[in-house]
Chains A and B, each alone.
Chain A
């Protein structure tokens, strides 16, 4: 039998392959690490996987949510264990191969130096990876796992156990009448909101930038500073200010502005459709300055020669705009524009801070202007329907990722065409 195969087979128990290759110190290291791994994590793994499978069997001894968390940590630890195991197998195989080919084995010193040289990128990105795993990946996995349980107010510790229910919650979203109608009305408004609000702010931003950037316009500096203000003031502050301004009975918009023009007070906060109008207008106000800034940067970088040449060829101002200015802006700002859409899709702050997603709709857990994110927030914090919230989170993430991927591919194509 070839040495590499024997070494590989033997290192099914970590270290033994190295012993076979007569690399005693390394062998003991691998064996030691493997043993201490099981000593340290043995209980966690045992308990974790049992918990993950059953989510607890006895009340009040078992806490389903703790068990689920432990189970997921066990899964993460296992992944690291498997990575180590893979390193062990590979090392044994490689050195076995060297023996087959009658080459000298890598010495421990060599390996150490290699590890230091190759380990540098791992070392400096290690902390980030660690933070990512515990602050981002683990919570996301946990949320996703909850979607497949029946965890809610009636199945929560310490009095009750939660259980795995598979795709039941997803099925319910589409079969239970009240859930289905709420889901589709919220989804519909989320999509409409994203499209209209983002398009408005992008169009307004580009329009304003082109307007201010006219060669012969005066007071440019003043206009630029004023137009950037909504971007510079913290968003939560302006949203709360607008909530005051739009107030149905005391707000300045109804009492001062509309009254001055002679229009009756508009129920901005109590009528669903008017709230929607107010939200879209506000997002235009809040969002256009950033596009304005980016577009201004692009406009200033377009060389004058282009326009010069176009003028000589007899192109009108509009033709110049359509064939030079607009394409330049769109190409350079495409990635920024796309982020506006994904941002608004999840724009929790404006929806929640302005009117709490309201006005409320009878018999529904979502308010009239709730988008998916704010609905999920309410389900979690206010009505404790965790598994429903988690299932919606998954649907939403899939939706966002699909669109993001599709757009990434489109913009790449866009860039190549340019």
Chain B
């Protein structure tokens, strides 16, 4: 029995350590690359012989083709406004769907379910053509609006499911005490939906950071780029030529996001599965 247990644990640890190496290797390699002198992939080693901070300096030098700080700010702006917009739109709409029985409610819910299935890039051609004709190319606000629109259907569904699980008695006793609908929403429903709001906020914030397709369709000039497009072009303009600089840029964006994700992972998963199964 003890022998069997020993082997089971040994095998488990071996598999896990193997996986850990596979996961950590590319990440460490990137860190190494960012300190490597030179620009290309060829000489890149995981532990550089003459480590240098040149690539980090280059990021902040602000040259025409590498406006890293600007991209960072653009991404931050788009993410923050998308997050705020999505939280406001989604929570109010979910409140309406969860607590009121109004005409068109069922139809609207079906519409949301349907829209959530149609991938947003269905609109890609329209966006490309219209943005070009209407001179909305490079407009961050158009992009923010599109992101918010894309987040509404699914997240409203999840949020509504979550709010449905908050007992109605709470609202009713507040109503008897004379609280208005908006007050009930702000003081009772909102605080109780915090885990789900955290999920929506996080999807709102990270969604734009992961999007390449819409942003690359609309943003065309380097000074308007978001980080994904900027870094992609950095790697692909002259393939391999500025990989080390890309690595430095990638690290500066990955670390803050990874920290947030790891700190909030519990909220994220519990909110998502709760809303998902009750939806």
Interface residues of A (CB under 8 A from B): 63, 65-66, 69, 118, 120-122, 124-125, 127-129, 131-132, 134-140, 142-144, 146, 208, 211-212, 214, 216-217, 223, 225-238, 240-245, 247, 250-252, 285, 293-294, 297-298, 332-333, 335-336, 342, 346, 348-349, 352-353, 373, 376-377, 380-381, 386, 389-390, 393, 396-397, 400-401, 404-405
Contact = CB atoms under 8 A, between A and B. Distances in A.
B209 A234 contact: yes
B192 interface: no
A294 B105 CA distance: 31
A266 B99 CA distance: 59
A93 to B, nearest CB: 16
B156 interface: yes
Interface string B104-132: 01001000001101111111111111100
Interface string B47-85: 000000000000000000000000000000000000000
A128 B122 contact: no
B96 interface: yes
Contact of B19 (A135, A208, A233, A236): A208
A335 B123 contact: no
Nearest to A133: B149
Given A217-B12, A237-B250, 18 more contacts: A121-B102, A144-B122, A211-B15, A217-B9, A226-B24, A228-B262, A229-B23, A234-B209, A234-B210, A234-B253, A236-B228, A244-B235, A250-B42, A285-B23, A333-B273, A349-B212, A386-B125, A393-B124
A380 B41 contact: no
B89 interface: yes
A211 B12 contact: yes
Contacts of A229: 23-24, 27, 258
B118 A400 contact: yes
Given A143-B122, A241-B30, A127 B89 contact: yes
Contact of B128 (A63, A69, A247, A380): A380
Given A128-B90, A208-B19, A247-B41, A143 B265 contact: no
Contacts of B20: 223, 226-227
A143 B269 CA distance: 35
The 3 tightest CB contacts between A and B, nearest first, are A135-B149, A139-B123, A142-B126
Contacts of B27: 229, 233, 241
A228 B266 CA distance: 12
B122 to A, nearest CB: 5
A232 B1 CA distance: 39
A135 B258 contact: no
Contacts of A333: 273
B96 A121 contact: yes
Interface in B8-43: 8-9, 12-13, 15-16, 19-20, 22-24, 26-27, 29-30, 33, 40-42
A233 B96 contact: no
A380 B124 contact: yes
Interface of B: 5, 8-9, 12-13, 15-16, 19-20, 22-24, 26-27, 29-30, 33, 40-42, 44, 46, 88-90, 92-93, 95-97, 99-100, 102, 105, 108, 114-115, 117-130, 133, 145-146, 148-150, 152-153, 156, 181, 185, 206, 209-210, 212-213, 217, 228, 231-232, 235, 240, 243, 246-247, 250, 253-254, 257-259, 261-262, 265, 268-270, 272-273, 276-277, 279
B26 A245 contact: yes
B23 A376 contact: no
A120 B101 CA distance: 11
Contact of A128 (B89, B228, B268): B89
A400 B117 CA distance: 7
13 contacts: A121-B102, A125-B108, A139-B123, A143-B122, A211-B16, A216-B9, A236-B210, A242-B26, A243-B235, A293-B268, A342-B117, A352-B213, A389-B125
A346 B209 contact: no
Contacts, number: 253
Contacts of B19: 208, 226-227
Q: Summarize B's interface: helix, strand, loop or mixed.
A: helix
A364 B92 CA distance: 48
A216 B247 CA distance: 39
Contact of A386 (B129, B240, B268): B129
Given A231-B261, A241-B30, A131 B250 contact: no
A349 B210 contact: yes
Contact of B273 (A294, A348, A393): A294
A77 to B, nearest CB: 17
Contact of B156 (A128, A138, A146, A247): A128
A417 to B, nearest CB: 15
A297 B270 contact: yes
Contacts of B150: 135-136
Contacts of A142: 123, 125-126, 129-130
A66 B125 CA distance: 14
B156 A120 contact: no
A88 to B, nearest CB: 15
A232 B258 contact: yes
Contacts of A373: 119, 121, 213
A266 B9 CA distance: 35
Nearest to A229: B23
Contacts of A128: 89-90, 92-93, 152, 156
Contacts of A252: 29, 44, 46
Contact of B254 (A237, A245, A380): A237
A352 B259 CA distance: 27
B117 A401 contact: yes
Contact of A244 (B148, B156, B185, B240): B240
Contact of B130 (A139, A237, A336): A139
A227 B23 contact: yes
Contacts of B149: 131-132, 134-136
Contacts of B277: 332, 335
Given A136-B150, A216-B5, A400-B119, A377 B124 contact: yes
B126 A381 contact: no
A352 B212 contact: yes
A143 B130 CA distance: 10
B92 A225 contact: no
A139 B93 contact: no
